[in-house]
Amino acid sequence: MTRVPMTKAGAEKLRSELEHLKTVARRKVVNAIAEARAHGDLKENAEYHAAKEQQGFIEGRIAEIEHKLGNAHIVDIHSLDVGDKVVFGATVDLFNTETEDEVTYQIVGDDEADLKEGKISVSSPLARAIIGKSVGDEVVAKTPGGEVIYEIIEVRYL
């Protein structure tokens, strides 16, 4: 069984969603099904079919989250002591040598990645290029748009 890296914060977010699905969402959909059943003929009852579909989605998502958490290798980034080296969980400030733009990304697990929040997947081309490097190193990231050269400005473990 392959263990998938995940930050402690990412695992907590999934646990919170799982708790909500099990305690709140399940109860609501069961009540919706019971209410729709009370309306009579189930063959032509759109509310019943919609509620059953929602129930299937909820149960599928519960199983998915439980599987992800079961296969997760949860990394507490606060316990890491690797100096200025880039590893999983690090927040990295990068300088694009061509455009002279500065960007900040945190390297997280595949399920946690969200570019809008500045979180990139550990399996992304940029993350693969900077992992193992240190402050001051220049790296070449092979992206779908071509090669991009970055300089690592700062590495933090937040």
In a shared domain, residues 64 and 52: yes
pLDDT tens digit sequence for 100-114: 999 999 999 988 999
pLDDT tens digit sequence for 23-32: 999 999 999 9
The Cα-based distances of 20 to 23, 33, 58, 63 in angstroms read 5, 19, 10, 14
Number of domains within the chain: 2
What predicted TM-score, i.e. pTM, was given to this entire model? 0.76
- The vertex-59 CA angle with 55 and 60, nearest 5°, equals 115
82 against 9, higher pLDDT: 9
According to the model, what pLDDT value does residue 84 have?
79
Among residues 75, 103, 124, the one where a domain terminates is 75
According to the model, what pLDDT value does residue 23 have?
95
Domain that holds residue 132: 77-156
In a shared domain, residues 83 and 93: yes
In a shared domain, residues 53 and 94: no
Q: CATH no. for residue 11?
A: 1.10.287.180
pLDDT tens digit sequence for 51-91: 999 999 999 999 999 999 999 989 887 776 677 789 998 99
